[in-house]
Amino acid sequence: MLRDAVRSLAEAKIAPYAAAVDEEARFPQEALAALLGGDLHAVHVPEEYGGAGADALATVIVIEEVARVCASSSLIPAVNKLGSLPVILSGSEALKKKYMTPLAKGEGMFSYCLSEPDAGSDAAGMKTRAVRDGDTYVLNGVKRWITNAGESEYYTVMAVTDPAKRSKGISAFVVEKSDEGVSFGAPEKKLGIKGSPTREVYLDDVRIPADRMIGEEGTGFATAMQTLDHTRITIAAQALGIAQGALDYAKGYVRERKQFGKPIADFQGVQFMLADMAMKIEAARQLTYAAAAKSERGDADLTFQGAAAKCFASDVAMEVTTDAVQLLGGYGYTRDYPVERMMRDAKITQIYEGTNQVQRIVMARNLP
């Protein structure tokens, strides 16, 4: 029922704008309005804060179905989870009430500020500082590659509180867009997901109350890594949706396109390509859904399974979308058809929330 509801909404209210959102590199306001209207913008927020209380699998299905028609739009529910999960996992009850309630109501989105110009895969090498001053902290630094920056009201920011302790000297904070000293860079000019703005976030003497710290001082990096164990599965879901959208389009195309007097779907070479695409998508789906169940239960092997789902599903998405372009031939290479957009959008799923090379390191360190 959930899948049917999200698919109907996505096809009616998000899909018609997907090409324009990509072409104009603009935030998908229509998708945001549709998701807010269906209470699908942040389904993971627990019911006690006014949220839908969706479990990890339901959240995955929402993201998958939105990504099937528009990858940029699927980053609304995905990044709302990424940005707010540190508060849910480690925040005080007061902090959860203060920020989860408006998120659930759709009064503001949440973004996640971990990466910096010199701290990507080596996130513990960050330089953003948070210095205690009485009952406040003063933050200074630059965060890079921040999804939905400028659109979101709330930002989970990782900052160094004790430089001598490296990863154990990093703390997490909630910063608000309206806080004095918060500003944003120009949107990055990206290959794909062009409807989801990616900007730098500048923190210049941003003074915030000490009670906006998420968890204890020095626990921020552990919270950040724990968050990624859960949210990598949402990237797997996004990759899955992109791949499914590409297969669905290619399937319809090959049945209509005639060469040598018959539909190209009748040729065994084309059939084998479609069969491989469908088989790999289904394998990715099973891995992703199993990982979502582990996320919900908090299983001991979640770190491995989350990394495996993200890595496998994103590699499948890149392969499937490339094959979809191939199946459409010259038409696949034009912006008149959606598969070239899907191919461009798929690439980022192999890179963000940890490159697939980093995922393999994570898996190797956590072999079950």
Three-state SS at 23: helix
Distance of alpha carbon 43 from alpha carbon 306, whole angstroms: 20
50 burial class (0-12, 13-18, 19+ CB within 10 angstroms)? middle
- At 294, list the tokens: 């582990």
Identify the CA nearest to 63 among candidates 78, 44, 52. 78
Dihedral (C-alpha) 61, 72, 357, 325: value to the nearest 10 degrees? 90
Distance of alpha carbon 225 from alpha carbon 302, whole angstroms: 12
Question: 107 an active-site residue?
Answer: no
Three-state SS at 189: coil
Q: Which residues, 6 or more positions from 171, have their beta carbon under 8 angstroms from its beta carbon?
A: 130, 158, 159, 160, 161, 213, 214, 215, 217, 218, 219, 220
Distance of alpha carbon 291 from alpha carbon 309, whole angstroms: 7
CA distances from 323 to 250, 279, 316, 343 (A): 9, 13, 10, 9
CA distances from 352 to 77, 320, 358 (A): 16, 19, 10
- Annotated catalytic residues are 353
